[in-house]
Amino acid sequence: MKLNSSNFIGIFDSGIGGISVLNQCIRLMPNENYVFFADSSNFPYGTKPKTQIAQIGLDIIGHFDKLGAKEVIIACNTMSTSDMPLFVSTYPNLKIFGTYPDFTKLLTPGTILKENDYIYDKENGLQIKKSKLKLLIIATTATCKSTFLTQLVNDFKNYIDIYVEPTDFIVKAVENDKLDTFEFKNHLELFFKEYKDINYLLLGCTHFPFASDEIKKIVNDDVIMFSGGDIVAKYAFEYTSQNDMTSNIVNPTITIIDSQINDRRIKLYNKLIRTNSHKIVFEKSFDSLS
């Protein structure tokens, strides 16, 4: 299928958390049509075997490919780290982006890491002694145990103090619209009590940016917070721009596909999606778009 600027951008996650990636895409590409698929029937991915997760991903990407997506963003760390090479080889003509807990992006641009006692920051001309910087990565249990993150931590543990902690309770709070409750805020406060001296915080799940305001109230003001979703949205924007596929649609649409859609979830979607220009429509399956 010949693709052009009018083709939509597909985004998917097992739940509603991927909306945080959609929001970043809207901010960078406000005139695009988007189709967001929340795979509610398979939520959460993290409890399933890696091979099953990969097969689910293949099926979803296949639907997007058939409908004519110009690119697909996997707005889920667990799915992205399941088998990206398989996704790319199966759909070689479709650009596929994954969302990863890649903390190497936290380093200042121009940073050079060397096997000695210092990290040399070329851009700012600084020498930072090893172990001075502390990074906390919060993610789902599945992502924390993933081969991708385990290897990355092992590769860089000599340069920066890294702590990896599962925080599945944040996912549950987002999915159930409980971010404003005393119970959630108290849980968050107790969790971060042990990490008052961190320098960096990586949000390793697309659900977590929705809790960022509450997190900022707890951690030190100078903590630098990053999200893999911000990074993947930037990559998608650059790809679209560089390939002359940027859309200039005047009245773009966001189509939400969610088999569990109901009034409560529609209210939550409308609460989380940040747009003033898109028409939002809801469907229960890909079949309605065929």
User: For 225-283, how does the pLDDT look when each residue is reduced to its tens digit (9 = 90+)?
Assistant: 988 888 899 999 999 999 999 998 889 999 999 999 999 999 999 999 999 889 999 99
Q: Is it the case that residue 104 has pLDDT exceeding 90? A: no
Pairing of strands 111-113, 118-121: antiparallel
pTM over 0.85: yes
> Mean of the pLDDT values across residues 198-217?
94
Measured distance CA(72)–CA(61) in Å, rounded: 7
Q: Is it the case that residue 130 has pLDDT exceeding 50? A: yes
Which range in 38-42, 45-49, 111-115 is most confidently predicted, on average pLDDT? 38-42
pLDDT of residue 1: 47
Q: What is the mean pLDDT of the chain?
A: 89
pLDDT of residue 159: 74
Q: Is it the case that residue 37 has pLDDT exceeding 80? A: yes
Q: Of 119 and 287, which is predicted with more confidence?
A: 287
Pairing of strands 9-13, 71-74: parallel
